[in-house]
Homo-oligomer: A and B are copies of this chain.
Amino acid sequence: MRKLFMAEMEAVGDDLVEMATLVNRAMKQARVALESRDTGLAETVILQDARIDYLQNTLDERTIELLLLQNPVATDLRLLIAALRVSSSMERMGDLARHVAALVRLRYPNSVIPDESRAEVEEMAELTVSVGEHLQRLMTSYDLVEGREIVKLNNDIDILHSQIMQNVTEGSWNLSGPQAQDLTLLVMRLERFGDHGVSISRKIAYLVTGEWEPPAMP
């Protein structure tokens, strides 16, 4: 019975690694699609998101079954609760990458990124892709250094996000209504992707240390 339980726990961990791998790839591809207006790649991101959603459902069902049937001990229970929460954040991150890709496809042959804002947006997208990379490593290694890196990246993402929004507000880029709409949607999605990365980092830190506190600031 215990052996079966351990195998099931391992399967939960494997699902989390696969989800993180897919989320990382999705944001990487969404970024390339965004910067090169590649609708084929955008399509790929959109289609692949179904696999992330499927994994979340599987993982949820598996976790709830384990909780219901096995009376897990404290450590296992903590792991299962963390798994439920982390999978829900990763599912949302997959959605955000898909929304970026959908916007690329919708606006083609025009670019979602207004020329005036290209440097800032591309910098923000690069940081967002890094969040995905560190997330994959965090879910594979459970090394909290990865989580702290995500927090650091997210601070930079937030600063860039504010700068970009400020430039729209003040009219310094002189964007049209439709341009401002696209840019607002786009950078909000990148920003939320980073937030979910931080939220996962905190949950993993809690899991590893048993202490509920945010990772130390860099």
Q: Chain B residues near A84 (CB, 8 Å)? A: 81, 84-85
> Which chain B residue lies CB-closest to A61?
B212
| C-alpha gap A175/B180 in the complex (Å) | 10
Total chain A interface residues with beta-carbon distance under 8 A: 31
Residues from 189 to 214 in A contacting B, C-beta threshold 8 Å: 212
A111 in the interface (beta carbon within 8 A):
no
| C-alpha gap A64/B81 in the complex (Å) | 8
| C-alpha gap A149/B67 in the complex (Å) | 31
A6 in the interface (beta carbon within 8 A):
no
| C-alpha gap A74/B69 in the complex (Å) | 8
Q: Quick one: copies of this chain in the complex?
A: 2
Which of A173, A176, A181, A185 neighbours the largest number of chain B CB atoms within 10 Å of its CB?
Answer: A181
Q: What's the minimum C-beta distance from A107 to chain B, rounded to whole angstroms? A: 9
Q: Chain B residues near A179 (CB, 8 Å)? A: 177, 180
A141 in the interface (beta carbon within 8 A):
no
A171 touches B181 (CB 8 A): no
A171 touches B165 (CB 8 A): no
A71 touches B71 (CB 8 A): yes
B180 touches A178 (CB 8 A): yes
A36 in the interface (beta carbon within 8 A):
no
A58 in the interface (beta carbon within 8 A):
no
Q: Chain B residues near A61 (CB, 8 Å)? A: 212
A169 in the interface (beta carbon within 8 A):
yes
A78 in the interface (beta carbon within 8 A):
yes
A68 touches B74 (CB 8 A): yes
A77 in the interface (beta carbon within 8 A):
yes
Q: What's the minimum C-beta distance from A42 to chain B, rounded to whole angstroms? A: 17
Interface bits A38-71 vs B (CB < 8 Å: 1, else 0): 0000000000000000000000010010011001
With A68-B74, A84-B85, A171-B177 given, name 9 new contacts (CB 8 A). Answer: A68-B78, A71-B71, A81-B84, A168-B178, A171-B178, A180-B180, A181-B183, A181-B184, A188-B188
